[in-house]
Amino acid sequence: MDNKPGVLSRISALLARRGFNIDSITAGPTRNHDVTRMTVVVEGDEYVADQAAKEMSKLEDVLKIERLSFRESTLREIMLIKVKAAKEERGEIVDLAKIMDCKIVDISPGTLMLEHSDTPEKIDLLVNLLSSYEILDMARGGAIALNTGEEDEYIFRMTAGKTENK
C-alpha cells in the first residue's frame, strides 16, 4: 500500500464495516520508502479471505494484494511476557525459556521478562506453560509473513484463517 497517513485506519475501518474479524494487522516500511507492507490475518475460510481481499482491492492506496498459503510462507509473531519469578522458581523459568528458545530481556529481583518470536501456536504454548507461574504483563505483536523461496517482494500481504505449524 502507499505509505501515506490514514491508510491503515481506512483498511481496518473497511474490514470492520463489512463484518470481518481481524485476528491481527501489522504494517511497516519496505525497501521502497513510498510503500508499506501490511499483513492482515482474518478469521474465516477461503470465501471470507476472498471477500476481504476484494473489498481491500477497491481502495486506491492498496497497490497489490497477495494471499499467502501457510505451506509456502513463513509467519512469525513476537511477544514480550513478564513473569513473577520468586528465587525458587527462577531456575525453572530460565530452563523453560531455553527450551522454548526465548530471550531473557529484563531481570529484576522478583520478575523475568522474556521475548519470544515464533508461530502463533508456539507463542500460545509458551503462554500456556508460563500460566502455572504468575504472568504479570504481556504484549503480543501481530503476525508478519513472507513467501518462502526466491519470489519477488509483495507489497500487501493477507493471510486468512488460523495458522498451521511450519
More confident of the two residues 125 and 22: 125
Q: Cβ distance 54 to 30 under 8 Å? A: no
Q: What is the pLDDT of residue 151?
A: 54
Q: What is the pLDDT of residue 143?
A: 86
Please, which pLDDT band fits residue 31 given cuts at 50, 70 and 90? confident
Does residue 67 surpass a pLDDT of 90? no
Residue extents of the structural domains in the chain:
7-72+148-160, 74-140
CA neighbor of 106 nearest in space, from 88, 85, 87 = 85
pLDDT digits (tens, 9 = 90+) for 55-64: 898 888 898 8
Average pLDDT over residues 71-93: 92
pLDDT digits (tens, 9 = 90+) for 97-146: 999 999 999 999 999 999 999 998 999 999 999 999 999 999 998 888 88
CATH fold of 74-140: Alpha-Beta Plaits (3.30.70)
User: In whole numbers, what is the pLDDT of the chain averaged over residues?
Assistant: 85
DSSP the chain: -B--TTHHHHHHHHHHHTT--EEEEEEEE-SSTTBEEEEEEESS-HHHHHHHHHHHHTSTT----EEPPSTTEEEEEEEEEEEE--HHHHHHHHHHHHHTT-EEEEE-SSEEEEEEEE-HHHHHHHHHHHTTS-EEEEEEPPPEEEESSSPPPPSEEEEES-----
Q: Do domains 7-72+148-160 and 74-140 have the same CATH topology?
A: yes
Q: Cβ distance 67 to 156 under 8 Å? A: no
CATH fold of 7-72+148-160: Alpha-Beta Plaits (3.30.70)
**Cα(75)–Cα(32) distance, rounded to whole angstroms?**
22
Q: Are strands 36-42 and 22-29 parallel, antiparallel or unpaired?
A: antiparallel
pLDDT-above-70 percentage for the chain: 89
